[in-house]
Structure 1
Amino acid sequence: MITSLARITAIGSYVPSTILTNADLEKLVDTHDDWIVQRTGIRERRIARKEEFTSHLCINAVNNLAATYAGSLADVDLVIVATTTPDYPFPSVACLVQNHLKLPHAAAFDLNATCAGFTYGLHLANGLITAGLHRKVLVIAGETMSKVTDYTDRNTCILFGDGAGAALVEHDTSEPGFIGAVLWSDGSGGKHVYRMGLAQVMDGIPLEGKGMIYQNGREVYKWAVRTVPDGVMRLLQQADRSLEQVNWFVPHSANLKMIDSIGEKLGISPDKILTSAEYFGNTSSASIPLALHQAHQQSLLKKGDLILLFGFGAGLTYAGVLFTWNIA
């Protein structure tokens, strides 16, 4: 169990208006709606406009959060943006957000933990607030995966979509929300899912993808189904909680068939699992806050619910966070 003096006080999200359906993909590559749904559970994904970038999605997600937040964001003192698709290598997306929202007291930086970025960000925000270094932190996850997706590759283009989610984490001694966290990485698996950057060789092997996403789906699937359940149980053991006490399990929505396998291995009922992939696709770091905000909008989340988030992806890396829901 971890020490916490922080809780999540507000949440918001945003997705672009353009919809890319499975029928649309049938016109681009040799694929079919039934084949995609059977293997991934994805029916649609949202796609950013040519002139729309990750910072725009993140700003809109924060604006959505602010619309239902009773307080002011003017005293936010840190902005963390989890993303693998920044507008620029630098300046950071977080600095673009801070400038646009005119947050006068906020430091800002980007965090790249791929699909585990949002859970890494929440863990970091809780730690910084509990240590007394910050009091009010915006944790944002945003991705424009469509801009790094090869739409001639039928194995990857069916998966990815664009979106952003935002959470506000605040200092609170009376009703702290964070209960436990577990983080882990295995860099030896980096070659299974990556996007080429300045280096074009990894572990002595020439890289593929030409700047777009490359993924060995079979290897990533096997790793996730084997590793995530172990990480979930390790987190619960450290937090002195049982799986039966968890009200909602929110894993990274990489592939709904993968989530089914993870749920079956853990023995979690499908009606206790929140996902966002069916109509938004795999939005990398944004998939968890999108699923959370959807559930909040549908009034599924009740005050005091025990929620287990679990992000996992390229690196290879994962991060799980256990907390109580405190948003009315």
Structure 2
Amino acid sequence: MKRAVIIGTGSALPARVLTNAELEGMVETSDEWITARTGIKTRRIAGAGEKTSQLAAAAARRALALAGLTPEELDLILVGTITADMTMPSCACLVQKELGAVRAFAFDLNAACSGFLYALDVADKYIRSDPDLKIMVIGAETLSSRVDWHDRNTCVLFGDGAGACVVTGAESNGNHQRGYLAAKLYADGSLWELLHLEGAPGHNPDLPGAALTAHPSIRMYGREVFRHAVRAMADAVGKVLADQGITPAQLSLVIPHQANIRIIRSLAEHLALPLEKVYVNVDKYGNTSAATIPIALDEANRQGRLAAGDLLLLCAFGGGFTWGASLIRW
């Protein structure tokens, strides 16, 4: 039986590094305050030539190189993002153009910070239908363009970047069911106001909501989001592991959404896992939404932290609310 397997990973980050010390001169905050509450020390901020589609394409090129494929061999490009360059065309279509992936169809998927997990699950469904497909799955964001830089509660959290992976079908490896094993994905739109990003105002006065502004930015009620995030991710992880008959101790590595070090530590405690088994880079990049997991996945892969047969757990929580967990045998 063929399963969806990841055969290449890549990531791309803007050149500019914004430190906590620099933020001290921009808003009323401090390095100590940011570090203690979030674990973030620096984040990357996009500049000229680093639009979401350009970062996504750069990450995709690295993933293709590791997979030993050319852009022309791709059949589908999926991009999880809430910060596409424009409303239309999609970020995925612009990536297709940038890569020269002339055979691929392409579309975006909006699930906020869970976007990469959702997109990976969609790719798995396509592979089940046609195991020979070559699919590029990307999480990419330039959240710096959607942040209110006068709001210290949000501007210290977010950064820019992109991560990608190439997915195709492959036979199971011996006794191991190699590849994408299972996922549990969820949403609760009733809580959208706790973490949201408004769209640009429309021209029909009867349709836009009264809250819409000309320059929308991320709005978040941090305490409530934290409370829901910890509980929801722990529940999703528990269910996907139970369904597969796997215990947390059997996991080789957990790559959680990199939003806040306290959320990550709470999840590790819930799973009774040492932090050494949990990949953390939130200190370097902050919260890059849909890009956090694929960036971390690429880093872990290139650092040699993933070996054949390893059980890898991915989990995320984001605006919507959306959340979920995926289990992969490397």
For normalisation by structure 2, the TM-score amounts to 0.92
- 2:290: which partner in 1? 285
- Which of 186, 211, 214 is the aligned partner of 2:219? 214
Deviation at 1:180, TM superposition (A): 1.1
Identical amino acids, percent of aligned pairs: 41
- Which of 53, 61, 65 is the aligned partner of 1:67? 65
Instruction: Find runs of 4+ consecutive structure 1 residues off by over 4 angstroms.
Output: 198-201, 204-210
Deviation at 1:279, TM superposition (A): 0.4
Cα distance in 1, alignment partners of residues 157 and 86 from structure 2: 24
Q: Is the 8 A contact 1:185 1:317 kept in 2?
A: yes
- Which of 311, 319, 322 is the aligned partner of 1:314? 319
Distance change (3 Å), C-alpha of 1:198 and 1:207: closer
Cα distance in 2, alignment partners of residues 209 and 240 from structure 1: 50
Q: Is the 8 A contact 1:84 1:114 kept in 2?
A: yes
Q: Is the 8 A contact 2:80 2:108 kept in 1?
A: yes
Cα distance in 2, alignment partners of residues 71 and 268 from structure 1: 36
Q: Is the 8 A contact 1:4 1:127 kept in 2?
A: no
Matched to 1:103, the amino acid is A
Q: Is the 8 A contact 2:71 2:100 kept in 1?
A: no
Q: Is the 8 A contact 1:276 1:288 kept in 2?
A: no
- 1:195: which partner in 2? 197
Cα distance in 2, alignment partners of residues 320 and 208 from structure 1: 34
Matched to 1:194, the amino acid is H
Deviation at 1:71, TM superposition (A): 3.2
Cα distance in 2, alignment partners of residues 92 and 276 from structure 1: 28
1:42 correspondence with 2:40: yes
Deviation at 1:51, TM superposition (A): 4.9
Distance change (3 Å), C-alpha of 1:31 and 1:85: same
- 1:147: which partner in 2? 145
- 1:177: which partner in 2? 179
Deviation at 1:68, TM superposition (A): 2.6
Cα distance in 2, alignment partners of residues 209 and 165 from structure 1: 30
Q: Is the 8 A contact 1:4 1:178 kept in 2?
A: no
Matched to 2:56, the amino acid is C
Matched to 2:277, the amino acid is K
Distance change (3 Å), C-alpha of 1:261 and 1:195: same
Cα distance in 1, alignment partners of residues 141 and 68 from structure 2: 27
Matched to 1:224, the amino acid is A
Matched to 2:182, the amino acid is G
- Which of 4, 7, 15 is the aligned partner of 1:6? 4
Matched to 2:142, the amino acid is T
Matched to 1:213, the amino acid is I
1:108 correspondence with 2:106: yes
Matched to 2:317, the amino acid is F
Q: Is the 8 A contact 2:256 2:314 kept in 1?
A: yes
Cα distance in 1, alignment partners of residues 213 and 96 from structure 2: 35
1:17 correspondence with 2:15: yes
Matched to 1:74, the amino acid is E
Q: Is the 8 A contact 2:200 2:212 kept in 1?
A: no
Matched to 1:72, the amino acid is T
Q: Is the 8 A contact 1:249 1:308 kept in 2?
A: yes
- Which of 222, 225, 229 is the aligned partner of 1:224? 229
Distance change (3 Å), C-alpha of 1:199 and 1:229: farther
Cα distance in 2, alignment partners of residues 17 and 124 from structure 1: 31
Deviation at 1:140, TM superposition (A): 0.6
Q: Is the 8 A contact 2:2 2:169 kept in 1?
A: no
Cα distance in 1, alignment partners of residues 70 and 285 from structure 2: 30
Kindly provide the CA deviation profile for residues 104-135 of structure 1, in whole angstroms up to 9, marking residues without a partner as x: 21010000011001111111101111122861
- 2:51: which partner in 1? 53
- Which of 253, 260, 272 is the aligned partner of 1:248? 253
Q: Is the 8 A contact 1:15 1:163 kept in 2?
A: yes
Deviation at 1:208, TM superposition (A): 8.3
Matched to 2:191, the amino acid is G
How do 1:18-33 and structure 2 match up within 5 A? 18-33=16-31
Q: Is the 8 A contact 1:78 1:108 kept in 2?
A: yes
Alpha carbon RMSD of aligned pairs, Å?
A: 2.1
Deviation at 1:173, TM superposition (A): 2.7
Matched to 1:170, the amino acid is T
Cα distance in 2, alignment partners of residues 46 and 314 from structure 1: 21
Deviation at 1:305, TM superposition (A): 0.8
Cα distance in 1, alignment partners of residues 214 and 309 from structure 2: 45
Deviation at 1:163, TM superposition (A): 0.3
For normalisation by structure 1, the TM-score amounts to 0.93
- 2:240: which partner in 1? 235
Cα distance in 2, alignment partners of residues 303 and 68 from structure 1: 16
Cα distance in 1, alignment partners of residues 325 and 180 from structure 2: 11
